[in-house]
Amino acid sequence: MKSDEAKTNSQYPSHAFRGFILLLLAVLFWGTAAPLGKLLIVTRFDTLIIVQTRTSLAFVILFVFFILTNRSVFRVQLRDVWKFAVLGIVGVAVTNYTYYYTVKESTVATAILVQYSAPIWIMLYSVFILKEDILDRISIISLVIALAGCFFAVTSGSLENINLKGLTILTGPLSAFTFAYQVIGTKQLIKRYSVWTLLVYMFGFVTIFWLFINPPWNIIAKNYSCGDWGLLWMFAIISILIPQLSFAAGLKYLDASKAGIISVTEPVIAIAAAFLILGESLGIVQMIGGTMVLAAIILLQVHPAIMKKIMRIE
C-alpha cells in the first residue's frame, strides 16, 4: 500500500509539469494568434470567415487523417453526443466569435483582458459546484497576482485603456463566460475520451453550426485566391488545432482552476506579439504586469512543494 502511494506521489510532479508545459504551449499559440487574427481581419477577411474557417479547416484535417488511420477515434456513447455539441457550439464557436468581434471593434489588449477574467469563474465553479478543486491560499494568491499582472500588462495601469464600446460591452464578458465553460466542459469529457475524439467531435459540431450560419456558397462567392486559402489553412493550424490539442492534453494532468490561472499567460504573449506584429505600444508598466503574471504561474507550478514545507512547519 505504501509503495503504491509513494509511486503515485513521485509521479505527480512529473505529470503536473507535463500539464504545465502543454498549457504554456497552448497559450503561446493562442497569444500569437490574437494579433495575427486581427491583422487578417483588418486587411483581408471578415470576422465570421476567420472564426468559421479556423475550426472547420481544423476539423477537415482531423477527419481525413483519422478516417484513413484510426476510425476508433469516432466511437462515443450516444448519451455524450449532446455534451460534445454544446461544448463545440458554446465553448468554441461562441467564444471565438465574441472574442474576435471584440478584437476587431476594440483592441487585442482589451479583448484579452476581459476574456481572462474567466479563471475566476473556473475556480469558483470547480470548487463550489463540481467540488473537484481545493480553494487553498496559494492558488488564491496566484490568481490575484495573475489577474493584477494581466491588468497592468494590458492597460498600463489605466482604466481608460479598457476600450469597450457598443456591442463589445456584451461580447467581451460573454467570451469570458463561454471560455470558462470550454475549460470546465473539456475537463469533464477528457476523463472519458481521448484528446483526438474530443477534438474531432468538438470541431465537427462547430463546423456544422457555422454551415447553418454561413453556408458554403457564401464563402465561394468571396472568390478567395489560393494565397488567401493558404493563409486560412495556416491560421487554422496555428490558432486552434495546435493550441486546442495542447490545452486539452494538459487538462488531463491539471485541475481546471489551475489551468485557468496558467491561461492568463496568454495576454502577456499576445501583447508582446501585438508589439512585434501590429506595432502596438509596450511600456514599462506593461512589462511589470507581464512579470507579475509569470511570477504567479511560477508560484502555482511550485505549489505542491510549498504546501509540503508548510505542512512540515505546522
- The pLDDT tens digits along the chain (314 residues) read 444 434 434 444 567 788 888 998 998 898 888 788 888 988 889 889 998 999 999 999 999 999 999 999 999 999 999 999 999 999 999 998 898 888 778 876 678 778 878 888 888 888 777 776 677 777 788 888 888 888 888 777 776 667 778 888 899 899 989 999 999 999 999 999 999 999 999 999 999 999 999 999 999 999 999 999 999 999 999 999 999 999 999 988 888 888 888 888 877 887 787 777 777 767 888 888 888 888 887 777 666 555 455 445 44
Question: CA distances (Å), 118 to each of 183, 218, 258, in order?
Answer: 9, 34, 12
The pTM for the full model equals 0.81
d(CA 107, CA 239): 18
62 close to 237: Cβ distance less than 8 angstroms: no
- Which position has the grid cell 509540503? 308
Per the CB < 8 A criterion, the answer to whether 81 and 191 are in contact is no
Please identify which residue in the block is written with the cell numbers 500500500: 1
Q: How far is CA 293 from the centre of its chain?
A: 16
Residue 48 has phi, psi (to 5 degrees) of: -60, -45
pLDDT of residue 309: 52
Crossing angle for the helix pair 284-301 and 303-313, nearest 10 degrees? 60
Give the residue ranges of DSSP H helices in 116-236: 118-124, 137-155, 168-189, 195-213, 216-220, 226-236
Sign of CA dihedral 175, 179, 182, 188: negative
